[in-house]
């Protein structure tokens, strides 16, 4: 009998793992009573917003899938996997395949193809997508943001890493690609899952840009945009649940708090002086 303990950590993204909205609207700087340059924060937020949208459009089909065609946002990349017939896509022309709203099986298959490409690009990382000039711009923006927010981004990464390690000596843990760790000492498994209220493609791009992709795999990113966080939590429970699985939700908002309560999961509330928490 397998007695391995699995710990699943369900994270919120915005104002939890990353800061963006509070930079754009100035509420982050306001909380420091004049000690932070509010305009600089807004400019940083606008630069992130620009890069997120540009990369989403240029490399991840966002404009084609979600802006030109309605009802194409899905809650996770595997949602249409049963429609993917495994066709070789190396010479596939995504601009000429006649993709339209995915209400029939043919267009669901075409969207599934796009999701497969998105998943592969996520696994490859931005260093295989962006040129060196853009990589340098991204690196500089990340460092500027981390400095402006007093290490918020690097602290968030450290928390994700600690959860994966189960607060154990990292020398006794084997890291598995995609944000899953198994401990040799206890036989336990630790998994990071993201549930974000944003639409799926920009959320995946945020994971890449904010350097979360090696800590949260693409199949563990869920968008509650259309379905709500409780539905996402229920899917996660169905996917991972057995008698040795433990769930914990972390975030700053009322929706994830109420969803965790409905699931009878512990909820760790992130309290921000510039935001609201439950």
Domain presence at residue 217: yes
pLDDT score, position 170? 37
pLDDT score, position 66? 78
Task: Report in angstroms the alpha-carbon separations of 210 from 14, 126, 165, 273.
Answer: 11, 11, 20, 22
Cα–Cα nearest to 204, from 76, 69, 94: 76
pLDDT score, position 174? 40
Determine the average pLDDT of the residues in 217-243: 96
Domain presence at residue 1: no
Q: How far is CA 261 from the centre of its chain?
A: 22
Domain presence at residue 177: no
pLDDT score, position 177? 41
Determine the average pLDDT of the residues in 212-216: 97
Determine the average pLDDT of the residues in 207-236: 97
Domain that holds residue 212: 6-169+188-269
pLDDT score, position 175? 40
Q: Is pLDDT above 50 for 109? A: yes
Instruction: Give the separation between CA 35 and CA 45, rounded to whole angstroms.
Output: 18
Q: Is pLDDT above 50 for 1? A: no
Domain presence at residue 222: yes
Instruction: Give the separation between CA 269 and CA 153, rounded to whole angstroms.
Output: 18
Instruction: Give the separation between CA 189 and CA 48, rounded to whole angstroms.
Output: 33
pLDDT score, position 212? 98
25-29, 182-186, 210-214: which range is least confident on average?
A: 182-186
Domain presence at residue 278: no
Domain presence at residue 178: no
pLDDT score, position 202? 96
Q: Are the C-beta atoms of 72 and 97 separated by less than 8 Å?
A: no
Instruction: State what percent of residues in the chain have pLDDT above 70.
Output: 88
Binding-site positions read: 12, 14, 252
Mean pLDDT for all residues in the chain: 89
Domain presence at residue 142: yes
* Residues acting as catalytic residues: 12, 14
Most confident option among 1-5, 215-219, 252-256: 215-219
Domain harbouring 36, CATH code = 3.40.50.12350
Strands 180-183 and 189-196: antiparallel
Count: domains in the chain: 1
Binding-site positions for Mg(2+) read: 12, 14, 252
Instruction: State what percent of residues in the chain have pLDDT above 90.
Output: 79
To 5 degrees, how large is the angle CA 166–CA 170–CA 173? 75
pLDDT score, position 62? 93
Domain presence at residue 202: yes
Q: Is pLDDT above 60 for 169? A: no
């Amino acid at each position: 009998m397998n007695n391995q303990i699995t710990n699943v950590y369900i994270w919120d993204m915005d104002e939890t793992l990353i800061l963006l909205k509070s930079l754009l609207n100035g509420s982050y700087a306001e909380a420091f009573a004049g000690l932070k340059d509010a305009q600089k924060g807004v400019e940083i937020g606008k630069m992130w917003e620009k890069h997120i949208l540009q990369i989403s459009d240029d490399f991840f089909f966002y404009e084609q899938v979600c802006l030109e065609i309605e009802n194409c946002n899905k809650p996770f990349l595997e949602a249409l996997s049963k429609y993917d017939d495994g066709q070789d896509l190396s010479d596939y022309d995504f601009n000429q395949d006649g993709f339209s709203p995915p209400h029939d099986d043919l267009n669901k298959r075409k969207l599934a193809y796009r999701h497969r490409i998105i998943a592969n690009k996520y696994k490859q990382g931005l260093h295989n997508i962006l040129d060196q000039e853009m990589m340098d711009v991204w690196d500089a923006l990340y460092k500027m943001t981390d400095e402006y927010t007093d290490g918020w981004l690097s602290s968030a990464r450290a928390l994700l890493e600690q959860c994966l390690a189960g607060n154990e000596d990292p020398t006794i843990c084997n890291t598995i690609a995609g944000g899953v760790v198994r401990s040799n000492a206890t036989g336990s498994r630790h998994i990071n899952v993201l549930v974000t209220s944003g639409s799926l493609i920009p959320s995946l791009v945020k994971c890449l840009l904010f350097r979360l992709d090696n800590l949260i795999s693409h199949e563990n990113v869920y968008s509650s945009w259309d379905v709500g966080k409780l539905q996402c939590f229920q899917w996660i429970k169905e996917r991972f649940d057995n008698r040795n699985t433990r769930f914990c939700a972390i975030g700053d908002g009322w929706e994830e708090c109420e969803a965790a309560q409905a699931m009878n999961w512990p909820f760790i509330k992130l309290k921000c002086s510039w935001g609201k928490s439950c």
